[in-house]
Amino acid sequence: MQLEASSRPIEQLDVHALAVSVFKDEKPDEGFLKQLDELSGGFVKSAIESEEFTGKEGETAYLHLLANKKLKAQRLLLVGVGENSEYQSAQVSQMAGTAVRYLRSKNAKSIALVPRAGVAPDLAATAALEGSFVALFDPEKYRTIEKEEKQIDRLIVVVEGGDGDSLKRAVERGRIIGESVNFTRDLANEPGAYMTPSNMAERAREIANEFGLSIDVLDEARMEQEGMGSLLSVSRGSDEPAKLIILKYVPANFDDETKDLLAFVGKGVTFDSGGISLKPGENMELMKYDMTGGATVMGAMRAIAQLKPPIPVLGVAPCTENLPSGKATKPGDVVRAMTGKTIEVINTDAEGRLILADAIAYAKKLGATKIIDLATLTGAVSIALGDVNAAVLGTDQKLIDEIIAAGREVGEKFWQLPLDKEYSKQIKSDIADIKNVGGRKAGTITAAAFLKEFADGVAWAHLDIAGTAWADEAKPYRAKGPTGIAVRTLLRIVDRASQSKDHKTKK
């Protein structure tokens, strides 16, 4: 697909379709809309005054302009973006996604997106491209009939002002991020038979080789040497061997005396049956997505390698299946983590925290000073927050605040849950140091309290994305299925850390 940013007047754009953002209750006889109404032969005013279209978020109004001589575009799509006062990069991304999904269904091959004023040109161009790529992903990889085959060949983002070279970089950044979000979604969408721990490790090697990341993959023998009894206890029931994937990005000529190292650690359970504590059969097929945390880390590292920030970043993904067999860990077993801490396994379906415990400890061994882990960890988070917010908990309030702010900037919502010391009492074991579940109360919090036991000595935050990593329904700007939640937030965290480094360097 040909991508570009342009500042040309809309009447000069020779495209199949023109998509324009419209604010809620915006008047058609003022400013830009008045001009667009004149160019479209009165369509804008007619749509708004008839109350067919009000500019509410996600609303659309569509018209063919084949007899119109004032616009080169053959069709016009109005896209509602809600309140003008709330219009930020996230809304630009959703507007672009809504437009390209709608217009692709109409077989438009070339599209010009007009996100309009309110967002800086570079940010608007990046956000529009991100949203467009995210919108074009469909989870139909294995469909052979009635499959969407329509393609968009050319996509233009129309912005006012902005430097040409800067806009080119913004477009490229949007492409990289959008493709990396979709990379994560593609991994999460794969059936468990096609996305085993070994398959994940192979995909990690591919992106490392293509984009210049360093990679190490620990097999079970090396994990045994490291004392990772917690992680290995989960893989015991499966014929598929566990893998611990380590990806690292280091800037060229990097020399930082502070030795700060940001690490992302993501749960990679490629299929979760619950183990001996077997899940109910209904909807178990969705447990292929239980490796979304690891896939998110891989997607973020894929983008980081191309965006080349001035700080190093470490990505760690512990990958395993969780299956029942004669070899599987049983409820009541005691395992020893890499740190030496002993864990009574009460429920084998609380396996994500077991693999993350050793992965967090290993990230610390590799020098991580700031760790963000993310996982489809608990069903309880869906009860608490639904599919709107992901949960964030941790020991470093500054890091938590940064995650929430970064998420807000890219349109991903995180809500902080408490992590008071009293919750840790729920995971005290009678026969070991801790147990892997704390009862029915505060399940998301006690899972984080468990991870906290292994994150001492570093700034740490935990993201529970179980309720937001998979969408049961399609949105105007996104297909149903895997969402790619948190890839963009992690990249924004890296941006913020990079800006902080640049500020310190200049001082």
Catalytic residue (one of 169, 279, 330, 413): 279
**Cα(323)–Cα(504) distance, integer angstroms:** 49
For 30-78, the three-class secondary structure string (H helix, E strand, C coil) is CHHHHHHHHHCCCHHHHHHHCCCCCCCCCCEEEEECCCCCCCCCCEEEE
**Cα(38)–Cα(325) distance, integer angstroms:** 70
Catalytic residue (one of 101, 175, 248, 353): 353
Q: List the domain boundaries for the chain.
A: 2-159, 180-506
**Cα(272)–Cα(470) distance, integer angstroms:** 15
Mapped onto helix, strand or coil, the DSSP state of residue 18 is strand
Q: Beta-strand (E) ranges in 234-352? A: 243-249, 262-266, 268-272, 313-322, 334-336, 342-344
CA–centroid distance for 260 within its chain: 24
Q: So what's the pLDDT on residue 504? A: 54
Question: pLDDT tens per residue, the chain (507 residues)?
Answer: 999 999 999 999 999 999 999 999 999 998 999 999 999 999 999 999 999 999 999 999 999 987 667 899 999 999 999 999 999 999 999 999 999 999 999 999 999 999 987 889 999 999 999 999 999 998 998 998 888 788 999 999 999 887 889 999 999 999 999 999 999 999 999 999 999 999 999 999 999 999 999 999 999 999 999 999 999 999 999 999 999 999 999 999 888 777 899 999 999 999 999 999 999 999 999 999 999 999 999 999 999 999 999 999 999 999 999 999 999 999 999 999 999 999 999 999 999 999 999 999 999 999 999 999 999 999 999 999 999 999 999 999 999 999 999 999 999 999 999 999 999 999 999 999 999 999 999 999 999 999 999 999 999 999 999 999 999 999 999 999 999 999 999 999 999 999 876 545 444
**Cα(442)–Cα(405) distance, integer angstroms:** 25
Q: Count Cβ atoms within 10 A of the Cβ of residue 147 and give its class: 0-12 exposed, 13-18 middle, 19 or more buried.
A: exposed
**Cα(76)–Cα(144) distance, integer angstroms:** 32
Q: So what's the pLDDT on residue 431? A: 98
Tell me the sheet residues that pair with 20.
78, 114
**Cα(313)–Cα(227) distance, integer angstroms:** 25
**Residue 158, H or E segment:** strand 154-158
Mapped onto helix, strand or coil, the DSSP state of residue 155 is strand
Q: So what's the pLDDT on residue 507? A: 45
Please count the CA atoms within 13 angstroms of the CA of 208 that sit on its side-chain side: 20
Which amino acid appears at position 220 of this protein?
E
Which amino acid appears at position 27 of this protein?
K
Q: Are 124 and 81 in contact (CB under 8 A)?
A: no
Q: Is 421 annotated in the active site?
A: no
Return all residues near 171 (Cβ < 8 A) that are at least 6 apart.
3, 4, 5, 125, 126, 129, 157
Q: Are 182 and 134 in contact (CB under 8 A)?
A: yes
CATH architecture of 180-506: 3-Layer(aba) Sandwich (3.40)
CA nearest to 212, candidates 252, 256, 170:
252
Q: So what's the pLDDT on residue 171? A: 97
- Domain at 2-159, CATH homologous superfamily: Leucine Aminopeptidase, subunit E, domain 1 (3.40.220.10)
Q: What is the largest CA-CA distance in the chain?
A: 81
Query: What six digits make up the tokens of 454?
Result: 């292994």
Tell me the sheet residues that pair with 471.
481
Q: So what's the pLDDT on residue 501? A: 67
Q: So what's the pLDDT on residue 160? A: 87
Give helix 487-506 / helix 164-189 axis angle, nearest 10°: 140
**Residue 156, H or E segment:** strand 154-158
The position carrying tokens 């500020």 is 503
Give helix 121-136 / helix 164-189 axis angle, nearest 10°: 30
Give helix 89-105 / helix 397-410 axis angle, nearest 10°: 40
**Cα(16)–Cα(306) distance, integer angstroms:** 32
Q: Is 279 annotated in the active site?
A: yes
* Alpha-carbon dihedral angle through residues 76, 80, 83, 87, given to the nearest 10 degrees: -70
